[in-house]
């Protein structure tokens, strides 16, 4: 059961957070969680209808409306422009969450150079260029937190996810390299690694009764892993309460792996 009294992080109030893939699933939970902390949130997604509905929902609950920019992360120029727009509207970004991803399943014999490159263009490349784009803002602030999203899928040897698994394993290397490069500027970089989160997309597309039973049997904690559980850790990693934590991987999976 998700706590009815979530932790409050005073250091997040008023800070600007930029979240990729915030329109649905884990991303939507991240947007909600940071808005509830009083952060100024900008998020990007290709799902405009879902994103605008989320903005309406949050505004109705908190009287604070997050900033939404429709953006396809394959277009790095558009991503950079969205980050600059967020800075101009909300102030310098001190929290970057690279959450967006495409976990489509593809049979190994059906992978093409084009499909491989497309997966990397969504799952890995934007994370670096987003970090590059916020670097100067965070350097001028003297602090910042970048949270890159990984996945347990490659550790589980999950099939039909070759490019996705490769990109998520690579995210660990990206995190550690950026942590070294940016640490002198007071910027922390960590990897948040979710397990099998029961989002609407997973339940509709990939989780049948047999799969859910397997997940429940494999997890140490016999409850559904929900987006809110992941967002709760993201809040901690973004806050000053984790000020000396960087270059680390944090798994939220109920003990799946």
Q: Choose the catalytic residue: 9, 143, 164, 206.
A: 164
For residue 70, what are the β-bridge partners? 45
Q: What residue spans of the chain are helical by DSSP H?
A: 25-36, 48-62, 76-90, 113-123, 125-141, 162-182, 200-205, 209-218, 227-238
CA nearest neighbour of 201 among 52, 100, 130:
100
Q: Is 43 helix (H, G, I), strand (E, B) or coil?
A: strand
The answer to whether 9 is a known catalytic residue is: no
Count other C-beta atoms under 10 Å from residue 222's C-beta.
Answer: 10
Q: Is 21 helix (H, G, I), strand (E, B) or coil?
A: coil
CA 174 to chain centroid = 15
User: What is the set of active-site residues?
Assistant: 164
């Amino acid at each position: 059961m998700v706590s009815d009294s979530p932790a409050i992080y005073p250091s997040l109030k008023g800070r600007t957070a930029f979240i990729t893939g915030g329109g649905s699933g884990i991303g939507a939970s991240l947007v909600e969680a940071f808005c509830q902390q009083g952060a100024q949130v900008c998020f990007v997604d290709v799902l405009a209808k879902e994103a605008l509905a989320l903005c309406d929902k949050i505004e109705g609950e908190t009287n604070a409306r997050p900033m939404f920019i429709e953006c396809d992360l394959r277009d790095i120029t558009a991503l950079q422009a969205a980050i600059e727009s967020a800075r101009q509207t909300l102030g310098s970004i001190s929290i970057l969450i690279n959450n967006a991803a495409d976990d489509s399943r593809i049979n190994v014999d059906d992978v093409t150079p084009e499909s491989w490159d497309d997966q990397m263009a969504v799952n890995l490349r934007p994370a670096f260029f987003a970090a590059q784009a916020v670097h100067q803002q965070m350097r001028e602030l003297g602090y910042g937190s970048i949270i890159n999203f990984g996945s347990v899928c490659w550790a589980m040897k999950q099939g039909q996810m070759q490019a996705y698994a490769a990109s998520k394993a690579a995210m660990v290397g990206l995190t550690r390299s950026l942590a070294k490069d940016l640490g002198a500027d007071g910027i922390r970089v960590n990897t948040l690694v979710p397990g099998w989160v029961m989002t609407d997309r997973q339940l509709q597309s990939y989780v049948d009764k047999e799969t859910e039973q397997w997940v429940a049997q494999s997890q140490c904690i016999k409850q559904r892993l929900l987006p809110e559980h992941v967002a709760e850790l993201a809040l901690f990693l973004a806050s000053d309460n984790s000020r000396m934590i960087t270059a680390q991987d944090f798994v939220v999976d109920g003990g799946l792996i």
